Amino acid sequence: MPRRIPDYPDAFAGWNVLCSYGSYLSILASVFFFYVVYATLTQGEKCADNPWQFDDNKNVSSLEWTITSPPAYHTFEEIPAIKETHFPALR
């Protein structure tokens, strides 16, 4: 489409409308994105220690859920001991 022409030919009218709707959609998506970022940063809630835990059972199935969220700086000063566990509910 040529630039700096004040009056486009009628052949470009459909594409001009399509581009206008696309720009409106992009502006709406950008506003929604910045709203989600703002709501996320100002909400103040943190993740639970183990978000996959659905009952009061304290059994955790992997190392990443043995510490609180967010983890403290230098959480593991030494490599954690890994022991074999069994889950009676899975048998």
Sequence-separated (6 or more) residues with CB below 8 Å from residue 50: 60, 65
Can you give 9-72 as a three-state secondary structure string? CHHHHHHHHHHHHHHHHHHHHHHHHHHHHHHHHHHCCCCCCCCCCCCCCCCCCCHHHCCCCCCC
- Domain extent listing, the chain: 10-90
pTM confidence score: 0.47
Q: From first to last of its 91 residues, what are the pLDDT tens digits of the chain?
A: 566 777 778 888 888 889 899 999 999 999 999 999 999 888 877 666 666 666 665 665 666 666 776 777 777 777 777 777 666 655 5
